[in-house]
Amino acid sequence: MGRQQDDSVFVFDEPTIGLHPKDVETLLNVFQTLIAHGATVIVIEHDLDVIRSADYIVDMGPEGGEDGGRIVVCGTPEEVKNCPESITGRFI
């Protein structure tokens, strides 16, 4: 992690599952370090702390299964928060 990551893309699928909130904090710091070194970090996540810390959100839904699978809103956390159709936006 101490080197430039300009050519790196990291994809994390639900990395907070089973983590204590303090460990989530540590994970967010790791993400920020990767980004600071030029990496692109993509996270598939339901944890609100992780979602709130994102630069850009793609909110899928509006529900799960057959009632989901479409993009509800894309944008900054503030834009998602201001979208009345976004269930995620209600909680961030």
Say what the pLDDT of residue 2 is.
Answer: 65
Q: In this model, does residue 50 exceed pLDDT 80?
A: yes
State whether 8 and 25 are in the same domain. Answer: yes
Number of structural domains, the chain?
Answer: 2
Structural domain boundaries enclosing 70: 56-92
Question: With the CA atoms of 10, 16, 20 and 22 taken in that order, what torsion angle do they form, in degrees rounded to the nearest 10?
Answer: 40
Amino acid identity of residue 41, one-letter, is V
State whether 7 and 42 are in the same domain. Answer: yes
Average of per-residue pLDDT across 38-42 = 96
d(CA 36, CA 42): 14
At residue 16's C-alpha, the angle toward residues 15 and 20, to 5°, is 145
Average of per-residue pLDDT across 39-52 = 96
Give the DSSP per-residue string, 15-49.
TTTT--HHHHHHHHHHHHHHHHTT-EEEEE---HH
Mean pLDDT of the chain: 94
